[in-house]
A and B are shown apart, each in its own frame.
Chain A
Amino acid sequence: MAGVLVVAETSEGKVLPVARELLGAARSLADQGAGPVFALVPGEAHAQDLIAHGADKVFVAPQALEGKMYDAWLPTVDAALEQSGADIVLIGQTASLGRDLGPALAFAHRTAVAPEVVDMRIENGRLRVTRPCYGGNARAEHTWAGQLQIATAKPKTFDALEPDASRSGEVVTLDVMGESRITVLSVEKVQAEGVRLEDADVVVSGGRGLGDPSGFQMLEELARLLRGAVGASRAACDLGWYPPSAQVGLTGKTVSPTLYIAVGISGASQHMAGMSGSKNIVAINKDPEANMVKVAKYAIIEDYRKVVPAIIEEIKKLQQAG
């Protein structure tokens, strides 16, 4: 096989972590016979970092490509594909680039992109991917009809390798970039108060099962203690119990915290779609048959009004004990 090309996006002069995660995934494909691992990055300064994380060869694009829209990237990616002969392209699913570049590259090559894959493997010399669909209720496995196989993955889906400074690789300058028809007028970074829901390592979410809006005060206290953020199900937001900006789910935010504590949430696909990437789920629910209980690591079957205050007390004790 001809190799895997990882498109490494940068922001404010730094390689996004998802690029290193995809290099880790690409190395695993290489171990299964996918061929060498190539990386494409704007700016020479990043080449060694990418090699240390698994690239065999790095194509260095003009630094000016950073922050440009997808159409400026297309000629650069094409040049990297031509020089490398790679038949697999991996891109981070970001709003700033990958979400657009994946399908744009696919349609330009009359091939398909599989967005937001969660698993990849080589079978009979071809890429086979798994991705969630139907709000996480189903999994689909795909292969490509066309020669070029393009996939994207959300951040934190795959694991980056430990950097190995002794790895060596080739660095090639690619002095190619396109002109975007889309002009970026301004960028506004949002600084959330406290911990941003999407970045939080701990998320405490409430649903219809809270019974009334006052339950969220309890969840806010628990989240504060754990330096986490508060989320809500669509049902709770629709009832006006919590602001829609905190809604986790298909039509809300996507979170993938280390710890997700779901209080009074049954686990409809609408909600699961926004949090199924959570590493550890704790369900607090009166109904032992709730879907959220089934997918959880730990569950407490109990009235949350009794158990959440007790959890808060236990954590306070623990924190005081240091």
Chain B
Amino acid sequence: MNIIVCVKQIPDPETPASSFRVDEAAKKVIPAQGIPPVVNPYDPQATEAALRLREAAGGGKITVVSLGPDSARDAIKHALAMGADEGVLLRDDAFEGIDNFQTALALAKAIEKIGEYDLILMGRAAADWDMGVVPMGVAMLLGIPCVSIAKAIEAVDGKVRVIRVLDDGFQTVEAPLPAVVSVSNEFGEPRYPQLRQIMLAAKKTVQVWSAADLGLSAEEVGEANRWLKLEALYVPKVETQVEIIEGDTPEEKARNLVQKLRADKLI
């Protein structure tokens, strides 16, 4: 079973709100000092799903693809250290400032270039823009079905059987292969790369493909050609309207709070 896993490197979502800055003129996030970017938290679960499916199938190749700057190599290396076979980094100055729709386009081109695949796995969303549109975008561009927010994945008779997480429960669905499946946090803990694996991963190849390598023209990528235009990016003013509940003792503070909540009809 040949599987392609798409991963993304993002600013650490555990960054304290106080260290989070935006350059409003450039409409970009300013990287927080001393807090290195991390692998999107859902992506190791997609890699874990790929590894388990390969184990169940008794073989196959797992290729990891990431679009991003040179540092995104670390996100690929992480998946390789978990046990994936090869990596591809999509790296081009023209990818700077592109949106998720162009990202899906570049990933779909890369997947076509890789060629042989039964299944494409991704995290349910990237925790930076938190849109979750890329899995469906890749599926639509490749003309294959997309099954989102998977909690469990199984390959049976040329099909993929997925338990999806619904708002009020679960749903078991089946789709023909090839398909795109996006993996949710309910999938379970991904394995932690062992030292030996990390050392082995250093020897695995990571190819670098440019926009031209993917056959993407200047009109198809680039900040100026975004499908969803970014008009403004800002840190919302926390109009701190907080009312600090005063009182001489904890009991008095508690009483004052409960009275406020009662007056507001909140309790």
The answer to whether B254 and A310 have CB atoms under 8 Å apart is yes
A188 to B253 Cα, complex, angstroms: 45
Select one of B141, B227, B257 contacting A145, CB under 8 A.
B227
Interface stretch among A38-46, A48-56, A165-173, A312-320?
Answer: A312-320
How many residues of chain A are within 8 Å of chain B by beta carbon? Answer: 86
Q: Which of B175, B230, B250 contacts A181 (CB 8 A)?
A: B175
B115 within 8 A of A: no
Q: Which of A145, A181, A306, A307 contacts B228 (CB 8 A)?
A: A145
CA distance A100 to B22 in the complex (A): 30
With contacts A106-B101, A251-B41, A310-B253 taken as known, whether A99 is within 8 angstroms of B242 at the C-beta atoms is no
Q: How far is the CA of A256 from the CA of B147 in the complex (A)?
A: 26
Query: What's the Cα separation between A224 and B16 when bound, in Å?
Result: 31
- Considering only CB atoms, which chain B residue lies closest to A180 in the complex? B145
Asked if residues A103 and B20 are in contact (CB atoms below 8 Å), the reply is: no
A-B CB contacts (within 8 Å), total count? 242
For B243, list chain A residues within 8 Å (CB).
297-299
Does the CB pair A134–B11 fall under 8 Å?
yes
Given the interface contacts A182-B147, A297-B242, A311-B257, does A144 sit within 8 Å of B133 by beta carbon? no
Q: A120-161 vs B: 1/0 string, CB under 8 Å? A: 000000001000111101111111111000000000000000
- A144-B229, A288-B244, A302-B253 as given contacts; A181 in contact with B128, CB under 8 Å: no
The segment from A24-32, A57-65, A79-87, A107-115 that touches chain B is A107-115
A273 interfacial by beta-carbon distance below 8 Å: yes
Chain B contacts for A283, CB-based, 8 A: 242
In the complex, what residues of B have CB within 8 A of residue A270's CB?
Answer: 13-14
Given contacts A145-B228, A181-B176, contact A268 B145 (CB under 8 A): no
Chain A residues within CB distance 8 Å of chain B: 69-71, 94-96, 99-100, 102-104, 106-108, 110-116, 128, 132-135, 137-146, 181-190, 196, 198, 202, 226, 250-252, 258-259, 266-270, 272-273, 280, 282-283, 288, 291, 293-303, 306-307, 310-311, 313-315, 318
The 9 closest A-B pairs by CB, nearest first: A310-B254, A112-B228, A107-B140, A306-B250, A103-B136, A103-B133, A112-B227, A314-B258, A189-B169
